[in-house]
Amino acid sequence: MQANKQDVLKRLNYIEGHLGGIRKMVEEDKYCVDILRQTYAVRKAIEKLESLLVEGHLHGCVPEGIASGNGEAIIEELVQLYNLAGNR
Amino acid sequence: MQANKQDVLKRLNYIEGHLGGIRKMVEEDKYCVDILRQTYAVRKAIEKLESLLVEGHLHGCVPEGIASGNGEAIIEELVQLYNLAGNR
Amino acid sequence: MQANKQDVLKRLNYIEGHLGGIRKMVEEDKYCVDILRQTYAVRKAIEKLESLLVEGHLHGCVPEGIASGNGEAIIEELVQLYNLAGNR
Amino acid sequence: MQANKQDVLKRLNYIEGHLGGIRKMVEEDKYCVDILRQTYAVRKAIEKLESLLVEGHLHGCVPEGIASGNGEAIIEELVQLYNLAGNR
């Protein structure tokens, strides 16, 4: 992984903590809309984490892979990632 | 909450387990693209959970709220949820 | 349609004008990234239009439909719209 | 532009035709939900067009740009495109 490991782990901690809070709300039968506001916040946090991982990959593995002759496979992966990221 | 509680908790368990796997991959410095494939799967699982919560809300609180005279507040919340769901 | 017709038509004009500009860029073989920036802007404009239509629907047809006894069909449509909106 | 020009123009034609149909529905005051189903179809068509343009860019400009020493600018653009594509 090329992204900063401490930063990625900090974001994972935040997401896991947030999910624990959502579990508590579900167990206590809180109002659906309040739970949904929290799940949307978690989704945004995961998208931010993805953005960080993608940025690390683009700055690290992509130029390295192309320089070392694996360009075609690296580019094919980027096409797949783009489509996965957009649920396409 | 109007959605089936056992179903919601089962999905939360799945998401938390998946995140634990991602944490392990990050700690072991796995390849960025393999980590990203997992974060996209988690994002899809959260979207599925949201869908379940929204469906419960629409079938439960929305007709009840409108019938009991809180229609305006209920509708205003739906507008907000729609925009939150689409990152708008 | 419940949303303001002039506002919706104004947005459609804007989107069509923007697409005409994109067509010109494609015909003149402009740089892909410059074309993509324009297609993303069009996508955002369509999402804004959707938001406007959804808001009109929620404030108009939804309470009316529930009041006149068509609640179940109206709610089922909202579930479908939510999933369509999120490509789910 | 690196994507196939005839394919891109064909998709633009389709999107413009579809928008013309939506304009007609709006002018004739059709049911909001029927209009929304069409705007979601247009949004999906634009996302498909974006996907095509991104693929062309990744297979063409990206390896060429890196090979000719413009790697840093090319990578920076890809980071921006990824974030734009996801509304982030």
Give the model confidence (pLDDT) of C34-67 as tens digits: 999 999 999 999 999 999 999 999 999 999 998 8
Chains that touch D (3 or more CB pairs under 8 A): A, B, C
CA atoms within 13 A on the CB side of B38: 20
Residue D67's pLDDT is: 87
Return the structure tokens found at A65: 């892979």
Of B55, B75, B83, which has the smallest distance from its Cβ to C59's Cβ?
A: B75
Q: Does C54 touch chain B (CB under 8 A)?
A: yes
Q: Does C87 touch chain A (CB under 8 A)?
A: yes
Please name the residues in contact with B57: beta carbons below 8 A apart, sequence gap of 6 or more.
A32, A33, A36, B2, B3, B81
Chains that touch C (3 or more CB pairs under 8 A): A, B, D
CA–CA separation, D36 and A37 (whole Å) = 24
Return the structure tokens found at D63: 């390896």
Least Cα separation, residue A72 to chain B (angstroms) = 15
- The size of the A-C interface in CB pairs under 8 A is 3
pLDDT of B78 over the 90 cut: yes
Residue with tokens 């959707």: C50
Flag if D85 and A83 touch (Cβ within 8 Å).
no
Kindly provide the ipTM of the predicted complex, given to two decimals: 0.91
Q: Which residues in chain B are closer than 8 Å to D87, comparing Cβ atoms?
A: 87-88
* pLDDT mean over A58-79: 92
Whole-angstrom CA distances from C79 to A34, B51, B58, D75, D81 are 18, 8, 7, 40, 31
Residue A88's pLDDT is: 66
Flag if B39 and A46 touch (Cβ within 8 Å).
yes
Of D5, D9, D32, which has the smallest distance from its Cβ to C53's Cβ?
A: D32
Looking at the structure of chain A, the number of domains it has is: 1
* pLDDT mean over D25-50: 96
In the structure, what pLDDT confidence band is assigned to residue A70 with cuts at 50, 70 and 90? very high
Q: Which domain holds residue A41?
A: 5-85
Q: Does D30 touch chain A (CB under 8 A)?
A: no
User: Which range among A6-10, B67-71, C19-23 shows the weakest confidence by mean pLDDT?
Assistant: B67-71
Is the CB of residue B44 less than 8 Å from the CB of residue A46? no
Strands (DSSP E) along chain B, which ranges? none
Q: What is the mean pLDDT of chain B?
A: 94
Is the CB of residue C49 less than 8 Å from the CB of residue C11? yes
Q: What is the CATH number of the domain that holds C12?
A: 1.20.58.1000
* pLDDT mean over A30-34: 96
Flag if B32 and A60 touch (Cβ within 8 Å).
yes
Please name the residues in contact with D34: beta carbons below 8 A apart, sequence gap of 6 or more.
D25
Q: Which residues in chain A are closer than 8 Å to D55, comparing Cβ atoms?
A: 79, 82
Q: Which residues in chain A are closer than 8 Å to C88, comparing Cβ atoms?
A: 87
